[in-house]
Amino acid sequence: MADPARTDHAALGRALYEAMRSRTVLPPLKGRVPGLTIEDSYHISRAMLDLRLADGEKVVGKKIGVTSAAVQDMLGVHQPDFGWLTDAMRHEGEMPISALLIQPRAEGEIAFVLARDLVGPGITPADVLAATATVHPCFEVVDSRIADWKIGIEDTVADNASSGLYVLGDGVPPDGVDLQGCHMVVHKNGALLSEGYGRAALGSPLICVAWLANTMAGFGVPLKAGETILSGSLVPLEPVQAGDHMTVSISGIGSTEVLFT
């Protein structure tokens, strides 16, 4: 563990929060904060979240990221990360990335809305399925307060799992949905961009949510009934800018779209 005298979680959380609000970037924490650990990074993320809550935002869910091989290879981060969702992150139809984000990248994924709490450790994929009210097609637009996306796992965890904004389509009950084999198709500005399957995320989105429940339990944080859980991208990240329009469709679940402004 990092020396607490040299790892000021509150100060680093404030630096990331101020970078987010001012749409500026910081050099990577990894390498310039001596002895930085993932546990430190989680506490930095919590400090960043506390400042958002002080602004009036509310926690509405959690997210797991960097789950697919395509995204891991793009970012050079080869294990999942985790973070918080607030009500200010959700948008409908239009997403003001030019006003709110720095270096946005869109990813298609499956979102879970929980009917009951998931409290690890020991949560299984079957537990996740039983606790899920609905599953939804989702665009998450990730962002990084770290310059040029030069991130290690410690950086992205500290930076709230590189969270940005998200949009959800209508949901369906998970019963009968092939969450491992479902086919995702993403279009950008009318052209086919990418395709993926549910198994791209750690073998199944259910495995992803179970991992998240068990990992966050180690920090005393449950996944709660009513929360939205983003389970990780099934396709490569795509840089986006104002004027771009994207759609995502997932077999057995449905579709959604977003116009970036």
What tens digit of pLDDT does each residue of 46-96 get?
A: 999 999 999 999 999 999 976 666 666 666 665 778 899 999 999 999 999
Residue 5 is predicted with a pLDDT of 38
pLDDT averaged over 10-residue windows placed end to end, the chain, 261 residues: 62 98 96 90 96 98 79 65 95 97 97 97 98 98 96 92 97 96 98 96 93 92 97 94 98 98 98
Q: Give the closest residue to 119 by CA, choosing from 233, 225, 226.
A: 225
Residue 3, amino acid: D
CA angle in degrees (0–180, nearest 5) for 94-98-102: 125
Q: Give the closest residue to 127 by CA, choosing from 210, 232, 203, 199.
A: 210
- By the 10 Å C-beta count (0-12 exposed, 13-18 middle, 19+ buried), 231 is classed as buried
Q: How many residues does the chain have?
A: 261
**Given phi > 0 = left and psi -120 to 50 = alpha, else beta, which region is 114?**
beta
Tens digits of per-residue pLDDT, 113-127? 999 999 999 999 999
Cβ-count burial 29-51 (b if 16+ within 10 Å, e if not): bbeebeebebebbbbbbbbbbeb
Residue 222, amino acid: P
CB-CB contact of 171 with 203 (8 Å): no
pTM over 0.85: yes
Cα separation, 127 vs 233, in Å, equals 21
Residue 254 is predicted with a pLDDT of 98
Chain centroid, CA 115 distance in Å = 20
In sequence order, what are the residues at sequence separation of 6 or more whose Cβ sits closer than 8 angstroms to the Cβ of residue 221? 62
CB-CB contact of 100 with 181 (8 Å): no
CATH class of the structural domain 58-260: alpha beta
